[in-house]
Amino acid sequence: MKSIIQKSSMQKSISGNAMKSGQEKSSPGVVVTDSAMLDRERKQLEKIKLKQQQEMQQMMEYEIKMQQIRQVNEEKMKKQQEKEEKRKKELALKAKQQEEIKIQQEQEKQLRLEEEAERQRQRQKELNEKEKSKGEEEKERERLRQLEIKKREEEQKLKQEKFKLQTEKITKEQQMLIEQKKVEMDERDKQRREMLEKKQTESKKIAEKKRKETIKKIEATKQKMEGMLDGQRSVLH
C-alpha cells in the first residue's frame, strides 16, 4: 500500500514537472492551446488519481474483511477446542465413576459372600458339635454335606473368577473405546486445523495475486501517461 502511495506521488510530481516545462517552453502564441491541453492533462491525472484511490480503498476494505474473517475463524476454533476439552473431561470423569462403582459393587459382593461363607462354616461347626456322638451313617451324611458345601464353594469361586474376568474384559473394552474415540477426535481436530490453514494460505495467495495485478495495472497506467506526456512534449517542441 505504501508503494502505491509513493507511485501516485511520483506520477503527480512527473505531471507537475511536465506542465511547468510545457509552460516555460511555450510561446505566447499558443497559450490558449497549452492551457486547454494542460486542463485535459489535469483531468486525466485526476481520473487516474481517483481510480488509484478507489483501488487503494478496495484493498484496505479487503484487508479489513480478511482480518475479520481470521478473527472469527480463530474464535470458532478456540470455542471448539474448549468444547472438546470439556467433553473429554466429562468422558474421563464418567469412566472413572463407573469404574469406582464397579469396584465398590465387587467389594460389597465379595463381603457378602465371605459373610455367607462364615455363617455356613459357623452353622456347620455347630452342627458338627451336636452330631459328634452319632454313628458312621451320620458321619457319612456329614461327609457328603461337606462335599456339597465344598462343591458349592468351588462353584462360587468359579463364578467369582468368571465375574472378575468379565469385569476386567468390560473395563478393558471401555478403555480401548475411550482411547479410540480420543484418537478419532484428535484426527478430526488435526483435519480441521489443516483445512483452516489451507484456506488461510489460499486466501493469502489470492490477496497477493490481486495486489500484484493492481500494481501491474498502476505501472502500466504510469507508463502510458509518461508516454503521453513525452508525446505531448515532443509536439510542443
> Average pLDDT, stretch 119-144?
79
pLDDT at 188: 87
Q: Who's near 34: CB < 8 A, 6+ residues apart?
A: 22, 23, 26, 236
Please check whether residue 55 is in contact with residue 138, taking contact to mean a CB–CB distance below 8 angstroms. Answer: no
Please check whether residue 52 is in contact with residue 218, taking contact to mean a CB–CB distance below 8 angstroms. Answer: yes
pLDDT at 130: 73
| Residue 33: band (very low, low, confident or very high) from pLDDT cuts 50, 70, 90 | low
> Average pLDDT, stretch 225-231?
75
Whose CA is closest to 17, among 229, 234, 220? 229
Q: What is the average pLDDT value for the chain, to the nearest integer?
A: 80
Tally of structural domains, the chain: 1
> Average pLDDT, stretch 12-31?
41
> Average pLDDT, stretch 86-90?
88
pLDDT at 155: 92
Asked if pLDDT for residue 211 goes beyond 50, the answer is yes
pLDDT at 158: 92
Please check whether residue 62 is in contact with residue 210, taking contact to mean a CB–CB distance below 8 angstroms. Answer: yes
Rounded to two decimals, the pTM is 0.26
**What letter does residue 28 receive in the DSSP assignment?**
G
Greater pLDDT, 68 or 17: 68
> How many other C-beta atoms lie within 10 A of the C-beta of residue 113?
15
Alpha helices (runs of H) in the chain, residue ranges in sequence order: 2-25, 31-130, 136-236
**Distance, CA of 48 to CA of 40 (rounded, Å):** 12
**Distance, CA of 72 to CA of 74 (rounded, Å):** 5
165-208 residue pLDDT tens: 999 999 898 889 988 888 888 888 888 888 888 888 888 888 88
Expressed as residue numbers, the domain containing 64 is 2-236
**Distance, CA of 212 to CA of 224 (rounded, Å):** 18
pLDDT at 140: 80
Greater pLDDT, 33 or 83: 83
Please check whether residue 48 is in contact with residue 15, taking contact to mean a CB–CB distance below 8 angstroms. Answer: no
